[in-house]
């Protein structure tokens, strides 16, 4: 059976690129703490938006969809799920809320992982969640011609309980040693979890929920305000490529964790950068709302859409955004590009040369 001795494997990950990513995250973490302490009330809207985006994106990766209106109603618990997709979305919402509110009290242990998986499928009936896989499963891939082939063969069903127990034990041991940065251990754990593939269904979504849980427990709570799942969904191709690259030779304990670790650290850095940018926009109390919109467009090097403006300024209403854009176009400070749903805006730097 595969072993998971992280104390012998993490040192190989300390490449210049990975060390740089770790340093950036540590610096952002300190900045985030100051933001949260000073402007906790102003961040409520970011949390609401992140929950909706996380629930949508993590399910979307697995081909689980519903309309935008139904998604918002489900995440805000204003309706009951009507379809299988919506039941799975509602389950993800509930587990995400559990992790947001109780992460300090949820140790990464097999029994807790089973409970979270049970809740993921709480709207699907008693037999759907909270149980290890009953038959061997395979990770398949489809080529451009539509032909399917086995990309990876996970741990057999009969070995799964012991494999997950060993995985959690080794993670706890490595974490308790105090010598290994949790930011390295977390993606290593997630890769191994996905290679075990302990459930008949829901392994990908569980891996992303566990990523949030472990980041929160380590003090990195950026995922509460910026959707890490959405960043993964937007770079899904790279996500799967790095996962595949790091799984080569896994059963023989010869796999290289570095590609997947680099990818996940890059996602966390991107989340912190986005958080820093949004908070600065959100808490610019010395500027009026139209002035904040103007500053946001001015500081965006390239095009920006109305929905992106509203996403970065969640406390500003759609009407205010539209009025500000109209005024900025009339003054020729902003140029409108395209029309309809494809409309974008860009700062007129020819007029406003600095």
> Is residue 218 scored above 70 in pLDDT?
yes
pLDDT band at residue 40 using 50, 70 and 90 as cut-offs = low
CATH number belonging to domain 288-347: 1.10.10.10
Q: What is the pLDDT of residues 101-155, one digit of tens each?
A: 999 999 999 999 999 999 999 998 767 799 999 999 888 777 677 777 788 899 9
pLDDT at 238: 95
Tokens 């300390």 appear where? 14
Tokens 């395209």 appear where? 338
pLDDT band at residue 190 using 50, 70 and 90 as cut-offs = very high
The CATH H-level (homologous superfamily) assignment of domain 6-281 is Fido-like domain (1.10.3290.10)
| Length of the chain counted residue by residue | 354
Angle, alpha carbons 187-192-193 (nearest 5°): 95
> Is residue 45 scored above 80 in pLDDT?
no
> Is residue 41 scored above 70 in pLDDT?
no
pLDDT band at residue 184 using 50, 70 and 90 as cut-offs = very high
pLDDT band at residue 35 using 50, 70 and 90 as cut-offs = confident
pLDDT at 94: 95
pLDDT at 38: 62
| Beta carbons within 8 Å of 307's beta carbon, 6+ residues apart | none
Q: Where are the domains of the chain?
A: 6-281, 288-347
pLDDT at 222: 93
Pick from 6-15, 80-89, 311-320, 331-340: least confident: 311-320
Above pLDDT 90, what percent of the chain? Answer: 68
Q: What is the pLDDT of residues 280-339, one digit of tens each?
A: 766 655 678 898 899 889 888 889 999 888 877 777 888 999 999 999 999 999 999 998
CA distance 72 to 66: 10
Q: What is the pLDDT of residues 223-258, one digit of tens each?
A: 999 999 999 999 999 999 999 999 999 999 999 999
pLDDT at 119: 95
Mean pLDDT of 161-181: 95
Beta bridge partners of 172: none
* Signed CA dihedral, 176, 177, 183, 184: sign only: negative
SS (H, E, C) the chain: CCCCCHHHCHHHHCCHHHHHHHHHHHHHHHHHHHHHHHHHHHHHHHHHHHHHHHHHHHHHHCCCCCCHHHHHHHHCCCCCCCCHHHHHHHHHHHHHHHHHHHHHHCCCCHHHHHHHHHHHCCCCCCCCCCCCCCCCCCEEEECCCCCEEEEECCCCHHHHHHHHHHHHHHHHHHHHHCCCCHHHHHHHHHHHHHHHCCCCCCHHHHHHHHHHHHHHHCCCCHHHCCCHHHHHHHCHHHHHHHHHHHHCCCCCCCCCCHHHHHHHHHHHHHHHHHHHHHHHHHCCCCCCHHHHHHHHHHCCCCCECHHHHHHHCCCCCHHHHHHHHHHHHHCCCEEEECCHHHCEEEECCCCCCC
Mean pLDDT of 43-52: 85
Given a contact cutoff of 8 angstroms between Cβ atoms, the answer to whether 352 and 333 are in contact is: yes
CA distance 95 to 118: 9
> Is residue 27 scored above 70 in pLDDT?
yes
pLDDT at 283: 62
């Amino acid at each position: 059976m595969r072993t998971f001795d992280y104390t012998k494997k993490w040192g190989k990950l300390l490449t210049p690129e990975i060390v740089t990513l770790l340093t950036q995250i540590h610096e952002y973490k300190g900045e985030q703490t100051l933001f949260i302490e000073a402007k906790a009330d102003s961040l409520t809207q970011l949390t609401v938006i992140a929950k909706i985006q996380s629930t949508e994106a993590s399910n979307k990766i697995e081909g689980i969809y519903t309309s935008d209106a139904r998604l918002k109603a489900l995440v805000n618990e204003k309706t009951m799920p009507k379809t299988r997709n919506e039941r799975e979305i509602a389950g993800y919402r509930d587990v995400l809320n559990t992790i947001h509110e109780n992460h300090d009290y949820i140790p990464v242990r097999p029994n807790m992982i089973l409970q979270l998986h049970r809740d993921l499928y709480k709207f699907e009936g008693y037999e759907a969640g909270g149980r290890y896989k009953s038959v061997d499963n395979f990770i398949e891939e489809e080529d451009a011609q539509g032909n399917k082939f086995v990309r990876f063969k996970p741990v057999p069903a009969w070995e799964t309980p012991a494999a997950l127990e060993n995985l959690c034990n080794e993670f706890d041991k490595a974490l308790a040693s105090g010598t290994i940065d949790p930011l390295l251990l977390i993606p290593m754990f997630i890769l191994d979890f996905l290679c075990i593939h302990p459930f008949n269904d829901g392994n990908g979504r569980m891996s992303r929920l566990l990523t949030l849980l472990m980041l929160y427990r380590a003090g990195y709570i950026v995922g509460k305000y910026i959707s890490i799942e959405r960043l993964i969904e937007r770079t899904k191709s790279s996500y799967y490529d790095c996962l595949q690259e790091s799984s080569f030779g896994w059963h023989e304990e010869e796999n290289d964790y570095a590609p997947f670790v680099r990818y996940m650290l890059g996602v966390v850095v991107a989340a912190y950068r986005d958080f820093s940018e949004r908070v600065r926009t959100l808490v610019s109390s010395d500027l009026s709302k139209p002035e904040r919109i103007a500053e946001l467009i001015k500081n965006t090097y390239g095009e920006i859409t109305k929905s992106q403006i509203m996403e970065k300024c969640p406390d500003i209403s759609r009407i205010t955004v539209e009025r500000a854009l109209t005024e900025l176009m009339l003054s020729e400070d902003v140029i409108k590009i395209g029309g309809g749903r494809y409309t974008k805006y860009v700062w007129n730097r020819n007029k406003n040369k600095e």
